[in-house]
Amino acid sequence: NPLENTYRPLHHFTPPQNWTNDPNGMVYLDGEYHFFYQYNPFGDKWGHMSWGHAVSRDLKTWEHLPLALPEFDNGDGTTTMIFSGSAVVDSANTSGFFEEGFTKGMVAIFTSHIDSSGTGIAQHQSLGYSADKGRSWKLYDENPVLDIGLKDFRDPNVIWNEQREAWLMAVVKPREYMAQFYESADLKNWTLLSEFGQQGDTTKIWECPSLFKVPVEGSDEKKWVLLISSGHKTEGFVGMQYFVGDFDGVNFTVQRQDDVFALDHGKDFYAAIPFNNLRGEYDKPVIMGWGNNWAYANDIPTVGFRGNFSFPRALSLTLNNDTYRLKSEPIVSEEIKTYEIDSEVLSLNEPSFHLHVKRDVSEKGFELKVAASKEEFVLFSYDLEKSELSFDRTMSGKTDFNKAFPSVETVKVSPKNGEIELDIYFDVALVEVFINGGEEVITNQIFPTSYKVEVALK
Ligand code: FRU
């Protein structure tokens, strides 16, 4: 089975070859969803960071396009890497990069990262622009556009701020656990509006911020959500946290929040950002995340490429006990076959499938085992006393490529009308578990040695 040798998911976006990490510059324009991503054109480990590029018309199948923004030489022995960032459609040509009246100009706002032996690391924000829907790019000749002299200052995420009819950038000072908001009329000149940080999880560095409006289920209300990716391999596992609140055009204020809210409880969901400029089909923000973890990202046993991305997920908010929480609903290819799981044992021999489970837990919890053998399986269980759903991948196949990999993830979830509902998507090496319609999610990679499995619920 060739899949066992490559571990390339069939229904998730992966680069044609080589290394990838964060999603970048996600933006909709003229029927196309553009997906850029951190990419190493020269190898399957992190390095030479550049922006890869793909487009989709339905968020389910993707067409690979040539490299968009390559790392470049500065002519003084240093190179500039193109780190994470965002893209906007500058339909009013505020930047002046395009011909008068041209409405389809795309501008990328990214972190320019220079590592030089003399002066150390420098990170600042720079611009690229494209007049042919992202197929070819030019760099602004007065880059960088935002430099505060900090070594760590990155991941600009720009949206149109309707309240002030200006561009708004969220960007982070990772080591200060601080997001900053800047404003610009032309994408070139930026002034500081406000800051938000030093709260929530500050045990790991802050990366990849994004601020956007999310509809509240069952009402006309919308609230603002700030997503933050926190952590790096030197500081343990990474994950994503979020804050819900209000944004008056200048300041982001957060709801009273005693807990840290995790967007996903698995090990493999990071650096997610939303599509910019969404129109039509989706009335909710749609995000995608990197399905890997810095703790072991460079060691996963995939062949010919390294790194994948989650399904696109449409986000909404639910309001319970005065607290807003995010809910994620996956956008999934119809080609993935669904199996309704009850107590009968099911035999499968395919690398990608969807298991749907709806189980009454009013008296006891359950165990769902997807097993290739006695020694190789993935175990999902619901513990009624603890109100905890867990995903155990310690026996999931190849796990010894990095000692941080074998793990058990748990999340607290209450039954709904006495039931727990799971939508579990297995796609070769990526497993996404949506609990109770996406109120909680667990995303984990696995590297099985066989796709011939028995699914048993008890
Ligand atoms: C997050 C990150 C970003 C940075 C990029 C570099 O995974 O560390 O902060 O821009 O990766 O590849």
Q: ipTM of this predicted complex?
A: 0.98
CB within 8 Å of 98: residues ≥ 6 apart: 90, 105, 129, 131
Specify whether the CB–CB gap between 138 and 169 falls below 8 A. Answer: no
CB within 8 Å of 391: residues ≥ 6 apart: 266, 378, 379, 380, 408, 409, 410, 431, 433, 442, 444
Q: Decide whether any atom of ligand 1 lies within 6 Å of the 111 Cβ.
A: yes
**Are 256 and 181 within one domain?**
yes
What 233-237 contacts at long range (C-beta under 8 Å, 24+ apart), as own/partner pairs, is 233/294, 233/295, 233/297, 235/203, 235/204, 235/205, 236/203, 236/204, 236/295, 237/267, 237/293, 237/295, 237/404
**Are 395 and 439 within one domain?**
yes
List beta partners, residue 108: 87, 128
Q: How many angstroms is it from 424 CA to the middle of ligand 1?
A: 28
List beta partners, residue 211: 226
DSSP class per residue in 246-259: EE-SS-EEEPP--S
Pocket test for ligand 1, best of 22, 79, 290, 293 (most atoms within 8 A of CB): 22
Q: Decide whether any atom of ligand 1 lies within 6 Å of the 271 Cβ.
A: yes
Is pTM, for the whole model, over 0.95?
yes
Q: What is the pLDDT of residue 256?
A: 86
Q: Decide whether any atom of ligand 1 lies within 6 Å of the 341 Cβ.
A: no
**How many domains is the chain partitioned into structurally?**
2
Residue whose Cα lies nearest atom 9 of ligand 1: it is 207
**Are 292 and 410 within one domain?**
no
Q: How many angstroms is it from 298 CA to the middle of ligand 1?
A: 14
| Closest to 52 (Cα-Cα) out of 16, 28, 87 | 16
Tokens for 303, please give them: 């062949």
- Phi and psi at 2, nearest 5°, equal -60, -30
At 174-219, the pLDDT tens digits run: 999 999 999 999 999 999 999 999 999 998 999 999 999 999 999 9
Letter for the amino acid at 135? R
Pocket test for ligand 1, best of 18, 21, 82 (most atoms within 8 A of CB): 21
Domain boundary among 312, 330, 348: 330
What's the length of the chain? 458
Residue whose Cα lies nearest atom 6 of ligand 1: it is 83
Q: What is the pLDDT of residue 280?
A: 66
Q: Decide whether any atom of ligand 1 lies within 6 Å of the 207 Cβ.
A: yes
Letter for the amino acid at 98? F
Catalytic residue among 22, 155, 392, 423: 22
Domain boundary among 275, 304, 330: 330
**Are 425 and 387 within one domain?**
yes
Residue whose Cα lies nearest atom 8 of ligand 1: it is 207
Q: How many angstroms is it from 166 CA to the middle of ligand 1?
A: 26
What's the whole-number average pLDDT of the chain?
A: 95
Q: Decide whether any atom of ligand 1 lies within 6 Å of the 268 Cβ.
A: no
**Are 308 and 363 within one domain?**
no
Q: Can you say how many angstroms the Cα of residue 188 is from the centroid of all Cα atoms in its chain?
A: 27
**Are 168 and 231 within one domain?**
yes
- Residues 393-416 as b/e (b if ≥16 CB within 10 A, e otherwise) read bebbbbbeeeeebebebebebebe
Q: Decide whether any atom of ligand 1 lies within 6 Å of the 83 Cβ.
A: yes
What single DSSP character describes residue 101? T
208 CA: nearest ligand 1 atom: 9
Q: Decide whether any atom of ligand 1 lies within 6 Å of the 50 Cβ.
A: no
Q: How many angstroms is it from 208 CA to the middle of ligand 1?
A: 7
Q: Decide whether any atom of ligand 1 lies within 6 Å of the 40 Cβ.
A: no
Q: How many angstroms is it from 146 CA to the middle of ligand 1?
A: 18
174 CA: nearest ligand 1 atom: 9
What single DSSP character describes residue 310? P
Cis preceding linkage at 144, omega within 30: yes
**Are 143 and 190 within one domain?**
yes
H helix and E strand count, the chain? 1, 34
Q: What is the pLDDT of residue 172?
A: 98
Specify whether the CB–CB gap between 84 and 24 falls below 8 A. Answer: yes
Q: How many angstroms is it from 355 CA to the middle of ligand 1?
A: 33
Q: Decide whether any atom of ligand 1 lies within 6 Å of the 84 Cβ.
A: yes
Q: What is the pLDDT of residue 233?
A: 43
**Are 199 and 346 within one domain?**
no
**Are 325 and 342 within one domain?**
no
Radius of gyration of the chain (CA): 22
**Are 326 and 364 within one domain?**
no
22 CA: nearest ligand 1 atom: 7
Name the 3-class secondary structure at 420.
strand
258 has catalytic annotation: no
Q: Decide whether any atom of ligand 1 lies within 6 Å of the 21 Cβ.
A: yes
84 CA: nearest ligand 1 atom: 10
Report the CATH number that the domain containing residue 60 is assigned in CATH.
2.115.10.20
Ranges of the chain with pLDDT below 70: 1-5, 231-236, 280
Domain extent for 420: 338-457
Rounded Cα–Cα distance for residues 58 and 62 (Å)? 8
**Are 297 and 397 within one domain?**
no
Question: CA-based angle 213:218:220, to the nearest 5?
Answer: 50
111 CA: nearest ligand 1 atom: 10
Rounded Cα–Cα distance for residues 47 and 407 (Å)? 27
Report the CATH number that the domain containing residue 374 is assigned in CATH.
2.60.120.560
38 CA: nearest ligand 1 atom: 12
CB neighbours of residue 196 within 10 Å: 23
Rounded Cα–Cα distance for residues 285 and 277 (Å)? 10
Domain boundary among 301, 330, 359: 330
Owner of token pair 């039931």: 419
232 CA: nearest ligand 1 atom: 8
**Are 161 and 178 within one domain?**
yes
User: CA of 32: how far to CAs of 63, 89, 234, 277, in Å?
Assistant: 10, 12, 37, 11
Name the 3-class secondary structure at 299.
helix
Residue spans of beta strands (DSSP E) within 185-330:
191-197, 206-215, 222-230, 239-247, 252-254, 261-262, 270-274, 286-290, 305-306, 313-320, 323-330
